[in-house]
């Protein structure tokens, strides 16, 4: 499908886990959406990569249920806190200490079929069969620019799809 035919993903938007026990709301515009192919995301997700949506900390809130906390060390060495549903295990959000944004695990958003990531990080551990769109931003490890290029591409995509 050509990009023009797809609307921009609109916010606010809610999301939740598979069993419905935990729900959350994203109340402001996300600042980027990318796929993470690190070994942690593969091991945790049951898929080839995770889909991470950067959301300003103030724009995210749990609105139903009590998520469970899980602390781990990312491939980058950063300490991260994962929040998941205690009843079905689905991971909903990651919080890296000291950052002004959290990452929503975007596949849990209502209407996840509309997601369109703008790049891929930690591709050095990507599964060999994965194919990437030539226009996407590709990073062997974590971006060294504070995710600026990913944020700019996402903003441009949202603006062009909305227009």
Residues of this chain that interact with another protein (CB under 8 A) are 1, 6, 16-20, 35, 39-40, 42-51, 68, 70, 72, 82, 84-92, 105-108, 112-117, 127-129, 131-133
Closer residue to another protein in complex, CB, 2/146: 2
Closer residue to another protein in complex, CB, 131/146: 131
State the Cα–Cα distance between residues 111 and 137, nearest whole angstrom.
Answer: 24
State the Cα–Cα distance between residues 158 and 4, nearest whole angstrom.
Answer: 11
Nearest distance from C-beta of residue 74 to another protein, angstroms = 11
Nearest distance from C-beta of residue 60 to another protein, angstroms = 14
CB 80 within 8 A of CB 74: yes
CA-closest candidate to residue 41, choices 98, 112, 100, 107: 107
Closer residue to another protein in complex, CB, 113/146: 113
CB 33 within 8 A of CB 50: no
3-state SS class at 65: coil
Q: Which residue has the tokens 């996840």?
A: 112
Nearest distance from C-beta of residue 115 to another protein, angstroms = 5
Nearest distance from C-beta of residue 8 to another protein, angstroms = 13
């Amino acid at each position: 499908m050509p990009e023009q035919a797809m609307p921009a993903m609109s916010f606010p938007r809610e999301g939740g886990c598979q069993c419905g026990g935990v729900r959350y709301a994203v109340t402001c515009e996300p600042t980027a959406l990318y796929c993470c192919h690190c070994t942690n995301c593969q091991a945790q997700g049951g898929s080839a990569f995770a889909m991470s949506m950067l959301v300003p900390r103030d724009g995210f809130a749990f609105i139903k249920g009590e998520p469970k906390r899980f602390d781990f060390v990312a491939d980058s060495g950063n300490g991260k806190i994962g929040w998941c549903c205690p009843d079905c295990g689905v991971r909903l959000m990651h919080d890296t200490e000291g950052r002004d944004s959290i990452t929503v695990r975007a596949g849990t958003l209502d209407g996840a079929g509309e997601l369109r990531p703008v790049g891929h990080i930690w591709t050095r551990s990507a599964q060999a069969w994965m194919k990437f769109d030539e226009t996407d931003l590709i990073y062997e490890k974590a971006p060294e620019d504070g995710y600026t290029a990913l944020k700019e591409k996402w903003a441009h995509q949202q603006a062009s799809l909305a227009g």
